[in-house]
């Protein structure tokens, strides 16, 4: 028997085993999935009190994870909200004071996709992009795998070259399954931002509308359709035993659109953009084995926190410019209370319709906002008065003074409105067509 040879083989096996261990440790880096539903109202999900729209899959995320009852978007609607999510910054810092479609996002600050790609993740994007300027599409700002969308102008029904028609929401869900199947053995970051449940929704297929007990069935059916897609995602994660290695963050990009519910709050996309329902969205965090099941977390938080949270899951510090905080210590019970002591809104783009202007601040149970019609600051106790019916500004002048001063101090950290650069109302999209665009996330 040739012992030196056996030793050499054992030694080589040990070296291989050590490589395998480090490779599997790398593969165990947790996945991050953000489900960012267009115009999802606070009261649209059964787990947030909706009694007429069944959402069993989103409810299962909530039941196995945490419901975040005080979660906000700081810059409604679609384009500014996505700009905040993808940069982790109050987008007003780079002059995004409102819709401003086509206004570039910073080139000297990584998008969340660029950050996660550079942290060793495969990054995937499915659905509506709607942020940045020319040359800043998802395939150009960090997403390595981008699901092409047919022709986006076709709305919810997409015609394939062979003449067959697809319901876009289902196509988006199938793309999630494809992405996970392709990348199940690597750490991945998936950003799912379907067009659903953005209006108009007249064409929601009857098979979804038929599940809705009352209310606007086209709208409720669209929510149910999204829920089914999330069911597909959960099934593929379970199929590959990825649940304990995957963080899912679910929320909306702004409050309820036509037909949706902001209950117990009031306001929304078309009815009351000064009100809480325009910016207060349902949110759920799911990470079995890490985030305890069945939690209700009531601390003040916002979508700015998703960047910093994803970075921490990847084992990294978020860039210095980020305004968010890491949610994980709060969701695992290591920290309590508000994630942000104050949350601010300052939508004042002179190009936006005045009904979209919003100056507001949240602190503890209080909400102060500038009432455009009455030209006065209004103060509400949201715990006692979620519908904002009793203005307490005169009764609590010290709170009014404090919050007004905090809001002014926040605005003073932003560039002034007269420095908004000229921009073209154009943004970059992946080319029309079907299937995946795969690259390095740095496309020309």
- In the complex, the residues that contact Ca ion under the rule CB under 5 A are 38-39, 77-78, 253-254
CB 226 within 8 A of CB 176: no
Of 137 and 255, nearer to Ca ion (C-beta) is 255
Of 267 and 441, nearer to Ca ion (C-beta) is 267
Taking CA atoms, 230 is separated from 151, 342, 350, in Å, by: 23, 32, 38
Q: State in angstroms the smallest separation of the CB of 254 from Ca ion.
A: 5
Q: State in angstroms the smallest separation of the CB of 307 from Ca ion.
A: 19
* Cβ count near 235 (within 10 Å): 12
Of 53 and 254, nearer to Ca ion (C-beta) is 254
- Closest residue to bound Ca ion by CB: 78
The C-alpha angle 311, 314, 319, rounded to 5 degrees, equals: 30
Of 79 and 209, nearer to Ca ion (C-beta) is 79
Q: State in angstroms the smallest separation of the CB of 438 from Ca ion.
A: 28
Q: State in angstroms the smallest separation of the CB of 222 from Ca ion.
A: 13
Q: State in angstroms the smallest separation of the CB of 441 from Ca ion.
A: 24
Which position has the token pair 């037909």? 259
Of 198 and 369, nearer to Ca ion (C-beta) is 198
Of 269 and 407, nearer to Ca ion (C-beta) is 269
Q: State in angstroms the smallest separation of the CB of 310 from Ca ion.
A: 21
**Cα(367)–Cα(361) distance, rounded to whole angstroms?**
6
């Amino acid at each position: 028997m040739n012992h030196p040879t056996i030793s050499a083989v054992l030694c080589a096996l040990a070296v291989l085993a050590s490589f395998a261990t480090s490779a599997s440790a790398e593969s165990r880096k947790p996945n991050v999935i953000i489900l960012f539903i267009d115009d999802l109202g606070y009261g649209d999900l059964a787990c947030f009190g909706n009694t007429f729209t069944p959402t069993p899959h989103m409810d299962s995320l909530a039941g196995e994870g945490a419901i975040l009852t005080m979660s906000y978007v700081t810059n409604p609607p679609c384009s500014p909200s996505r700009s905040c999510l993808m940069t982790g910054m109050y987008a007003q810092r780079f002059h995004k004071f409102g819709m401003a479609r086509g206004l570039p996002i910073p080139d000297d600050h990584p998008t969340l996709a660029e950050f996660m790609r550079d942290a060793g993740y495969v990054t995937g994007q499915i659905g509506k992009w709607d942020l940045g300027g020319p040359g800043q599409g998802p395939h150009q700002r960090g997403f390595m795998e981008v699901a092409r969308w047919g022709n986006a102008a076709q709305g919810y029904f997409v015609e394939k070259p062979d003449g067959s028609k697809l319901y876009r929401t289902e196509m988006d869900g199938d793309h999630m399954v494809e992405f996970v199947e392709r990348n199940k053995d690597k750490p991945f970051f998936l950003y799912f931002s379907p067009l659903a449940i953005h209006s108009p929704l007249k064409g929601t297929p009857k098979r979804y509308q038929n599940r809705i007990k009352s209310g606007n069935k086209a709208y409720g059916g669209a929510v149910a359709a999204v829920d089914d897609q999330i069911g597909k995602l959960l099934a593929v994660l379970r199929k590959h035993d990825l649940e304990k290695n995957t963080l899912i963050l679910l929320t909306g990009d702004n409050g309820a659109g036509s037909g949706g519910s902001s209950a117990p709050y009031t306001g929304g996309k078309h009815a009351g953009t000064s009100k809480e329902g325009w910016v207060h969205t349902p949110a759920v965090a799911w990470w079995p084995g890490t985030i305890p099941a069945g939690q209700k977390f009531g601390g003040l938080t916002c979508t700015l926190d998703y960047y910093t949270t994803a970075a921490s899951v990847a084992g990294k510090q978020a860039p210095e410019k980020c305004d968010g905080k890491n949610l994980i210590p709060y969701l695992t019970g290591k920290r309590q209370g508000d994630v942000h002591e104050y949350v601010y809104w300052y939508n004042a783009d002179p190009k936006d319709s005045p009904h979209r202007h919003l100056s507001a601040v949240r602190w503890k149970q209080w909400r102060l906002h500038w009432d455009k019609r009455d030209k006065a600051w209004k103060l509400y106790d949201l715990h006692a008065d979620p519908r904002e019916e009793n203005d307490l500004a005169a009764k609590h002048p010290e709170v009014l003074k404090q919050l007004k001063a905090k809001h002014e101090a926040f605005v003073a950290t932003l560039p002034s409105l007269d420095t908004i650069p000229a921009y073209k109302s154009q943004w970059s999209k992946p080319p029309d067509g079907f299937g995946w665009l795969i690259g390095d996330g740095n496309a020309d």
